[in-house]
Amino acid sequence: MPELPEVQTIVMELREAGLIGCKIRSVKVQWDKIVAVPDAATFAQELTGQTIAGFARRGKYILIQFEAGKYLLLHLRMTGQLIIKKATEPVLKHERVVFELDDGRTLRYHDTRKFGRFYLVNDPQAVIGKLGWEPLEAEFTVQSFTAGLVQHARQLKPLLLDQTFIAGLGNIYVDEALFAARLHPQRLANSLTKTEISALHQAIRQVLQKGIANRGTSLGNGEGNFASASRRRGRNQESLTVFRRTGQACPRCGTAIQRLIVGQRSTHICPKCQQLKNKHKV
CB of 239 to Zn ion, least distance (A): 16
Subset of residues 212 to 251 that bind Zn ion, contact rule: CB under 5 A: 250
Q: 190 vs 258, which CB is nearer to Zn ion?
A: 258
Q: 53 vs 199, which CB is nearer to Zn ion?
A: 199
Binding mask 21-50 for Zn ion (x = CB under 5 A): ------------------------------
CB of 182 to Zn ion, least distance (A): 8
How far is it, in rounded angstroms, from Cα 243 to Cα 222? 18
Q: Which of 52, 73, 169, 273 binds Zn ion (CB under 5 A)?
A: 273
* Nearest CA-CA partner of 27 in 95, 123, 113, 73: 95
Q: Which of 210, 252, 259, 265 binds Zn ion (CB under 5 A)?
A: 252
Q: 47 vs 156, which CB is nearer to Zn ion?
A: 156
CB of 252 to Zn ion, least distance (A): 4
Burial 254-278 (b: 16+ CB within 10 A, else e): eeebbeeebeeeebbbbeebbeeee
CB of 267 to Zn ion, least distance (A): 15
Q: 98 vs 257, which CB is nearer to Zn ion?
A: 257
Q: 225 vs 258, which CB is nearer to Zn ion?
A: 258
- Per the CB < 8 A criterion, the answer to whether 95 and 108 are in contact is yes
The angle subtended at Cα 277 by Cα 271 and Cα 282, nearest 5°, is 135
- Per the CB < 8 A criterion, the answer to whether 271 and 258 are in contact is yes
Torsion-angle region of 194 (φ positive above 0: left; ψ -120 to 50: alpha; else: beta): alpha
By three-state DSSP, how is residue 141 classified? coil
Q: Is 257 in the site for Zn ion (CB under 5 A)?
A: no
CB of 179 to Zn ion, least distance (A): 8
How far is it, in rounded angstroms, from Cα 90 to Cα 99? 13
How far is it, in rounded angstroms, from Cα 273 to Cα 254? 10
* Nearest CA-CA partner of 66 in 48, 85, 79: 48
Q: Which of 147, 253, 256, 276 binds Zn ion (CB under 5 A)?
A: 253
Active site residues: 2-3, 60, 265
How far is it, in rounded angstroms, from Cα 80 to Cα 53? 22
Task: Enumerate binding residues for Zn ion (CB under 5 A).
Answer: 250, 252-253, 255, 270, 272-273
